[in-house]
Amino acid sequence: MIAPLTGGLESTTNTRAPSKQKGVNVSVQTKWDSSYEWKAVLILSLAFGLVGLDRFILPPLFPTMMKDLKLDYQDLGNLVGILGLAWGLSAILVGGLSDRLGRRLVLVPAVVLFSLLSALSGMATGLVSLLLIRAIMGAAEGAVAPTGVAVAVEASHPNRRGMNNGIFQCALALFGLAIAPIVATQLLEVTSWRNVFLIVGIPGLIVAAVMWFIIREPATIAPRGQADAVKRAPLSEMFRHRNVPLSMLALLCAMTGVFVLSAIMPNYLVDYLKLTGPQMGFVTSAIGFGGFLGQFGVLTVSDFVGRRTAAAGSFVIAAVFLYLFMQTGANLPVLFALLFGAALFNFGALAVLAGPIPAEAAPMGLIASVAGIVIGAGEIFGGGVAPSIAGAIAKNYGIQYTLHFALGGLIVGLAISLFLLETAPRKSKAGAQAMVSALDRVPEA
């Protein structure tokens, strides 16, 4: 049994009876560090925002790139897909590594590497070099996602876990899908697409340096030469909670919607609806602005209504908005509004499934491992295979039919999410117990 929590978390010291977890008897006395919580969430958000910027700057640049490098829709799908595949495999492998080596030793080199590779993308001479660069870049970015989820969970008071994960995750949509299309299309008016890649790679190097001095390690990672303060559960327990495999399946459906729309939308708007470049940039930015609000808003709401309700409801509403978007012609305000709504709830479902659901189902000391497995599975199909399939659909049948594929992913995701178990601390007894055990993972200064 886990001892009940007494006293306030914010301003007083909390003393608990020894908690027993798989034979380990640990007595923890700690004061919640809200200052570290906000600093950690802020630097994580900046890093993940740059992940989004470097990752999603490609699609709005692609209509120009495809003329210079003689590429087609299938090449676009493959370029987006290979980054997603590498991201997924890296998330699975490196998530577990960060549970053992530490958060900073994974996060900082990963941010440096993907920033340098973003700049290197501007030097590509053809499809093969672009594929190689984007694959290595995806591996670096994949390391950031599960490790960042773990740090955000460890730094957050359990009652703010959804909100803080929302702040962290929504930065990817804000930087990558709201700001990137506008920055790309405006910079193309004054410079080449090659220079755009170089410009967006620079900020990550600064963020990596700051991150090294801010991020702390959890209690399950002890300093060199010392025994671990809290024992990790064995890897065999990762799938003990049914939310782990279910969130893997539901997440790949959510990612199918997100990444098919993100990859195909610029060309859909320019080639099918015949919008101009600046008009395309305006409408496409709705994905980012909607995703930004959705990842923050839906995750925050999930702290109160529950994770399952938030995920299932988001799938339903996203599907409705996407269907209406598919029926709309070249009407800019309506296109923006409908795409904004579809992205808001599609990203909201993705954020809940990639963040608190696997984190709250993770055994002690395996948050990054479980998050890596879930995010990796979603990325491999949703971020890797799905865009490639969408590219083939666009090339062989017409780009407009890729939206049907994205809609199908949302419908299947809804069906899967109905079987999730509720774990939000405010909505379930299991979640309340997890709130207590979370204090065993408080990062040490």
Element (H, E) at 331: none
Element (H, E) at 195: helix 193-201
- Mean pLDDT for 66-85 is 83
The predicted pLDDT at position 387 comes to 80
Cα 430 to Cα 427: distance, rounded to the nearest angstrom: 9
Q: What average pLDDT does the chain have? A: 80
The predicted pLDDT at position 326 comes to 92
The predicted pLDDT at position 22 comes to 39
Helix (H, G, I), strand (E, B) or coil at 384: helix
The predicted pLDDT at position 430 comes to 53
Cα 291 to Cα 295: distance, rounded to the nearest angstrom: 6
- Mean pLDDT for 384-395 is 83
Q: Does domain 34-217+238-435 bear CATH number 1.20.1250.20?
A: yes
Confidence of residue 1 (pLDDT cuts 50, 70, 90): very low
What's the predicted TM-score (pTM) here?
A: 0.70
Neighbours of 411 (CB within 10 A): 14
Confidence of residue 266 (pLDDT cuts 50, 70, 90): confident
The predicted pLDDT at position 217 comes to 81
Q: Where are the domains of the chain?
A: 34-217+238-435
Is the torsion defined by CA of 162, 258, 293, 323 positive or negative? Answer: negative
Cα 386 to Cα 112: distance, rounded to the nearest angstrom: 28
Does residue 276 have a pLDDT over 90? Answer: no
Lowest mean pLDDT of 244-253, 280-289, 350-359, 423-432, name the range.
423-432
pLDDT tens string 170-209: 888 788 877 888 888 888 888 888 899 888 888 889 999 9
Residue 409 is encoded by which pair of tokens? 């992913």
